[in-house]
Amino acid sequence: MSSHRLPGHPFVAYRNSTLHIENVALDALIADHGTPLFVYSKASMLSALAAYQRGLAGRNVQICYAMKANSTLGVLQVFVQAGCGFDIVSGGELDRVLAAGGDAQKVIFSGVGKTTAEMRQALAAGIGCFNVESEAELAVLSSVAVSAGLCANVSIRVNPNVDPKTHPYISTGLKDNKFGVAHEDALRIYQYAASLEGLRVTGIDCHIGSQITDSTPYLDAMDRVLDLVDAIEASGIALQHIDFGGGLGINYHQDTPPEADMLWQQLLAKVDARGHGGKKLMIEPGRSLVGNAGVCVTEVLYLKPGEHKNFCIIDAAMNDLPRPAMYQAFHTIVPLTANPAREAPTLYDVVGPVCESGDWIGRDRKLSVHAGEYLAVLSAGAYCTSMASNYNTRGRAAEVLVDDADARLIRRRETSQDQMRQEILA
Ligand SMILES: *Cc1c(COP(=O)(O)O)cnc(C)c1O
C-alpha cells in the first residue's frame, strides 16, 4: 500500500491514492454524512497538546484550551479527558465546558466585554480566575462578587506592546487595540484591584495575538510581563500565577512556527533566570491544538471557465470556512483522490455558493478536478465551525471525530427546521 504524508499534517495522508485521517478513508464518510463535512483527528489534537506538556514538564502548569478556536462538545471532551482547563470568552462557552464534563475550577474567563450576568454565572459555577481587561471591569466584577457573597480570583491582562507580526485583525498586544491594560498603567490598576473588596488578585495575564510564527515577540512579551511581575510584587502584591496566553501559529502554507516544546524551553529559561520559576504557569493555546487536526470535505458542484478566471464552485462556503473572507487566509486545498494520470491541472479560484464576491476559499489554485468529485480543505480545525454562520440560510456542516479507525458523528448537519426554531411568525 503506497502512503504519502502531507507536510505539517502528520495525521492526514494519502493511502492508495485516497486521503485518510488516521485510519479512516475520508471518502467512506461521505455516504453516511454528506458534505460539507468537517473531520477531526483526535490523535492530532493529543499530539499537539503533548508538545506543550513536554515543554512544560515538571512545572506547576495549567493548560487551558482556548475553546473559541473550536467549541464543538465532542472536541471539548477530548481536552476534558486529557485533563485540560478551558479559556472561555462568554457565558455560553462556560455552558459548553460544563456540558462536556469540564471542571469549572480549571476555567479562566477572558474578554473585554463580560456582562454582569456572565460574571454572576461564572462566580456561581466557581471558575478559577477572571482575566480582567479594564479598570471599569474590575469595579463591576467586585460589586457583582460582593452582592453574591463571593470573592472573584482575578488576573489583569496587560498589554506588553509587542508586535506579533501577524494579520492586524489577530494582533492583540499592541497599544492601540482594545485588549488589556497598558503596560504603564498596570501597576496602578493592580493597586486599585487589590483595594477592592470582592476581588482576590492571583495572577497576571497577557495574550499578544494569534497565528504567531516567530518566537521573538513571545520572548519580548515575557520580558515585559516579568518586568511588571517584579514591579507589582515590589509594591506588596504577591502574584501566584503567570498566564502567558495562546497565539502560537500552525503551518497553513509554508509557515514555520516554532514547536511548542522548543518555544517553552526558551521561555522557561527566561522565567527561571528572573527568579519566577516557582510560580504557577497558565497557557491558553487554541489554534495550535486543533487547527491542523481538522479538514473540511467538500464536493465540486460546477467548473465554470471564464475569460480571465476559472471558477471551481464547491458546496462549502464562507459560512462554513470564514477565514479566507475575514483575513484573506490561506487554506491548502487537495483532491480527496490523488490521480496522477489526470490531465494537466487548471488554475481555479475555489469559491462557494454564497451570494458574495468575498465568498472564496482559495485563489489561483492548480487543480485537476471534475464536477462531482471531492476536495479537502486542510487546516480546518480552528476558527471554522466555531465561526460558522447561517448566512444564506445554509445549515451548519456535520462534524466527525476520528480516533484511529473509529469515526464518530459529533454534530449532526443542521436542518432548516433547526435554523427556524427560534423564529416567530408575526
Ligand atoms: C483567542 C485567544 C486565545 C487563543 O488564541 P490562539 O491563537 O487560538 O492560540 C488565547 N487567549 C485569549 C485571551 C484569546 O482571546
Q: Kindly report, residue by residue over 183-238, the tens digit of the pLDDT.
A: 999 999 999 999 999 999 999 999 999 999 999 999 999 999 999 999 999 999 99
State residue 6's pLDDT score.
Answer: 84
Closest CA to 104 of 121, 16, 55, 377: 121
pLDDT(340) > 90: no
Q: Which residues are bridge partners to 155 per DSSP?
A: 131, 203
Give the chain's mean pLDDT: 95
Q: Which atom of ligand 1 is nearest to the CA of 172?
A: 15
- Nearest 5°: CA angle at 380, between 377 and 386? 135
d(CA 211, CA 67): 15
CB atoms near residue 307 (< 10 Å) = 5
* Joined grid coordinates for residue 60: 506547576
Compute the distance from residue 299 Cα to the ligand 1 centre, in Å: 31
Q: Write the CA distances from 309 to 98, 327, 343, 406, 411, integer angstroms.
A: 48, 22, 19, 41, 36
Q: Which of 75, 110, 169, 214 to mutate to test the pocket of ligand 1 (most atoms within 8 A of CB)?
A: 110
Domain layout of the chain by residue ranges? 3-41+291-420, 110-285
pLDDT(105) > 90: yes
pLDDT(1) > 60: no
Residues known to be catalytic: 355
The torsion of the CA quartet 99, 128, 164, 292, rounded to 10 degrees, works out to -30
pLDDT(167) > 80: no
Q: Which atom of ligand 1 is nearest to the CA of 131?
A: 13
Compute the distance from residue 158 Cα to the ligand 1 centre, in Å: 14
Domain 3-41+291-420: state its class: mainly beta
Q: Which atom of ligand 1 is nearest to the CA of 89?
A: 15
d(CA 15, CA 337): 9
pLDDT(22) > 70: yes
pLDDT(174) > 70: no
CATH code of 110-285, in short, is 3.20.20.10
pLDDT, mean of residues 341-370 = 95
**Of the candidate ranges 27-41, 154-168, 392-406, the one whose mean pLDDT is the lowest:** 154-168
State residue 102's pLDDT score.
Answer: 98
Q: Would 3-41+291-420 and 110-285 be classified into the same CATH topology? A: no
- H/E run at residue 251: none
State residue 342's pLDDT score.
Answer: 85
State residue 126's pLDDT score.
Answer: 98
Task: Please answer whether residues 232 and 223 qualify as being in contact, where contact means their C-beta atoms are separated by less than 8 angstroms.
Answer: no
Task: Please answer whether residues 127 and 107 qualify as being in contact, where contact means their C-beta atoms are separated by less than 8 angstroms.
Answer: yes
- Nearest 5°: CA angle at 225, between 222 and 228? 150
Give the β-pairing of 107-109 and 129-132.
Answer: parallel
Task: Please answer whether residues 384 and 320 qualify as being in contact, where contact means their C-beta atoms are separated by less than 8 angstroms.
Answer: yes
**3-state secondary structure at position 357:** coil
Whats the size of the chain, residue-wise?
A: 426
In this structure, the residues whose C-beta lies within 6 A of any atom of ligand 1 are 66, 68-69, 87, 110, 207, 210, 245-248, 284-288
pLDDT(331) > 70: yes
Strand stretches in 175-224, DSSP E: 181-182, 199-205
